[in-house]
Amino acid sequence: MELFDEIAAKVKGQNKTIVFPEGEDKRVLGAAVRLQNDGLIKPILLGKRADIEKTAKDNGWDISALSILDPAEYPEEDKKAMFDALLERRKGKNTPEQVTEMLKDVSYFGTMLVYMGKADGMVSGAVHSTGSTVRPALQIVKTKPGAHRISGAFLMIKGDQRYIFADCAINIELDAPTMAEVAVQSADTAKLFGIDPKVALLSFSTKGSAKGDMVTKVAEATKQVHDMAPDLPADGELQFDAAFVPEVGELKAPDSKVAGHANVFVFPSLEAGNIGYKIAQRFGGFTAVGPILQGLNAPIADLSRGCNEDDVYDVALITAARA
């Protein structure tokens, strides 16, 4: 896709290092080989060397140029430095014994490589759950200054169409402050992909056409977005058709600068967002790239366990671009 050609051109030659905690997985290894061969990033694969080499041999891949790191064989001096750094980071929350156990988990180990500056970013989730990827990230790299929460956005692509859907991965229930922060985060993500953000905060109501606490929440979130980012084109509450279809937007919200032209869609709950992006993907023929974790202090990406090799490749490119 043209978009990923643009991203590849942006990251090529920057030598960004991305760690893959699931290096033994065929999809991950295949993507890492391609990324290395294309000269786009420098992958670090975590896992048992013998298992990674076997997978490579079975698929005819040359991995001689790849960096493979078996946490069990990590040099004692480096292991001690990582232990001390994590113990300090988790001071008062985890015992030395607990920290030792945490570092046996490749998700924690990979996150520590990012935290300690030995990797620019991390891509995980092909095998592990979202919680297994997000928990270490929140405990170690934490949120950006001024951010109170993280969220998960999807880049939706079809031909030359590009949209952002959020939150589709992290926050089960969004109150008004959470929805507002997701909106601002998603606008920043949109800019990464060349999208000039016009943010719609979605509801089953447009400008008071229905009543209820769920409607009030979205209207309040919209006010908070305007306070947080006064120059950001954002509007709500809007029904999806009012946000997306110019004729409907003009009819239902004639004074809106966003209605009918939105390209960043913020859903009022994880339930709605997750269902929405999958409908667009399966019925609408859009490619869904993500989830892209927003609000973290470092670029850490969470794959879907149903991902394929191309998904890993694309998400790694995005992670390198964010680094």
253-290 pLDDT, tens per residue? 999 999 999 999 999 999 999 999 999 999 999 988 88
Asked if residue 232 and residue 171 are part of one domain, the reply reads yes
Radius of gyration, CA atoms only, the chain? 21
Q: What is the pLDDT of residue 131?
A: 82
Please give the order of strands across the beta sheet that includes 300-302.
67-69, 42-46, 17-20, 121-124, 300-302
Q: Are 298 and 280 in contact (CB under 8 A)?
A: no
What is the average pLDDT score of the chain? 92
Domain of 47, CATH number, reads 3.40.50.10950
- Could you tell me if residue 288 is inside a domain? no
- Taking only the tens place, the pLDDT of each residue in 1-57 is 588 888 888 888 888 999 999 988 899 999 999 999 999 999 999 999 999 999 999
Strand order in the sheet with 234-238: 234-238, 199-202, 264-266, 161-166, 151-158, 287-294
CA atoms within 13 A on the CB side of 218: 27
- Residue 142 corresponds to which tokens in the numbers above? 């934490």
| CATH classification of the domain holding 276 | 3.40.50.10750
Mean local confidence (pLDDT), 182-187 = 96
Residues 53, 137: one domain?
A: yes
In a domain, 14, yes or no: yes
- Burial class (CB within 10 angstroms; exposed 0-12, middle 13-18, buried 19+) of 253: buried
How many domains are there within the chain? 2
pLDDT tens digits along 88-142: 999 989 899 999 999 999 999 999 999 999 999 999 988 888 788 889 999 999 9
Global pTM reads 0.84
Judgement on whether residues 210 and 82 belong to the same structural domain of the protein: no
- The token pair that represents 72 in the structure block: 């069990």
Domain boundaries, position 12: 1-142+297-322
